[in-house]
Amino acid sequence: MTTISERLMPVQSSVTKRSWRWMRDNLFSTPLNTLISLVCIYIIWNVVGGLISWAIVNASFIPGKDACAEITGACWGYVHANWRFLMFGTFPPAEYWRPFVAIMMLTGGMLLTMNRTFWTKWLPVVWIIGFIAVYYILAGGVFGLTPVRTGLWGGLTLTLVLAVVGIAFAAPLALILALGRRSEMPLVKVICVVFIEVFRGVPLISVLFMASVMFPLFLPTGVSVDVLLRAQVGIIVFQAAYLAEVFRGGMQAIPSGQYEAADSLGLTYWQKMGKIILPQALRLVIPPTMSTFISLFKDTSLVVIIGLFDLLAATRAAVNNPEWRPHYIEGYVFIALIYFCFCFFMSRYSLYLDRSLKKATSH
């Protein structure tokens, strides 16, 4: 009677042979390729080895600055001492549970939305209710919650609010702009073209600056708009202008025969777009659409110029503390990992969605 290890031996041998064959064909096929591969392996070995030594082997994971006095590696006590500030900004410490719940609701909503099972007509309604709930959980003033002004929101909480709300509202606005730019009505087309070209022609920093400084000058005396709302609107319109061109490119990639076939069936404009053109066009532009969303998530760090402390700004403020100033690298590495995790997850989901939709339409 054979054992499990004996049964696995042929499989392991086959995998090993394929691995050696792949390395021989791709890494060591010629003397030049062999030299380049060995140099690259040497560089990677030293870089990765140095990083592991700094981040793990010689690092200190003990809370407190004193534990980092005589180490040569990273001082992760910085993260332990400042993680609440990085996550929640200057939100009142006694109310930290509120931004934590908001983070869970926003990330949970994104995870549920990524499941195609929930792609129903009720999904936008659920998101609107969710946004209202997140706002009142953070702002308070209802159900006995202590009011907290938006200027105290910060850290990862603010980054997620700006990014998720920006994505949720920029996408439909961009779709309207893309349709308007291709419209046969001159006035609608001109308005959409001017909107897109104006906001695509200026950097996001200038849009945020105008929303924060210039916009209040045009308001009546005594009327003010919250700075967070102004920043959010600026992010939405800026990203919508870029995303509109992505959607327009997808619609232009659809063969003219699809439009003619829809017209021959007597479909109305909205039936043609909703049932034939847009489903194909949006599937074609999944990769560039997700790239725009990733860019939006990272661009939220620019709100620091109008006095809002997102994740990056909170890190900068924390490392300015004289106690932790020598360990600023650990702070930036920590938030870089957070940004990477969110962006990598969105990238992988884009790849999965693109493949699954192509597979579904190929049958």
Please report whether residue 116 resides in a domain: yes
The span from the CA of 146 to the CA of 305, in Å, is: 28
Asked if pLDDT for residue 114 goes beyond 70, the answer is yes
Please report whether residue 55 resides in a domain: no
Cβ atoms of residues 224 and 216 within 8 Å: yes
User: Which are the contacts of 207, defined by CB distance < 8 A and separation ≥ 6?
Assistant: 199, 234, 235, 237, 238
Cβ atoms of residues 134 and 68 within 8 Å: no
DSSP 277: I
Please report whether residue 138 resides in a domain: yes
The span from the CA of 341 to the CA of 87, in Å, is: 15
Residue-wise over 321-346: b if at least 16 C-beta within 10 A, else e? eeebeebbebbebbbeebbeebbeeb
30: confidence class by pLDDT, cuts 50, 70, 90: confident
Q: CATH number for the domain including 298?
A: 1.10.3720.10
Asked if pLDDT for residue 67 goes beyond 80, the answer is no
Both tokens of 222, joined, read: 């005594």
Report pLDDT digits (tens) over 168-188.
999 999 999 999 998 888 899
Q: Which of 339, 326, 314, 340 is nearest to 74 (CA)?
A: 326
Please report whether residue 71 resides in a domain: no
Please report whether residue 15 resides in a domain: no
Q: Number of folded domains in the chain?
A: 1
Please report whether residue 298 resides in a domain: yes
The span from the CA of 158 to the CA of 309, in Å, is: 8
Both tokens of 54, joined, read: 């700094």
Please report whether residue 253 resides in a domain: yes
Asked if pLDDT for residue 75 goes beyond 60, the answer is yes
The span from the CA of 287 to the CA of 350, in Å, is: 6
Tell me which of 14 and 138 has the higher pLDDT.
138
Residue ranges making up the domain that contains 288: 78-217+224-362
Q: What is the pLDDT of residue 191?
A: 92
The span from the CA of 38 to the CA of 46, in Å, is: 12
Please report whether residue 34 resides in a domain: no
The residue behind tokens 């202590």 is 146
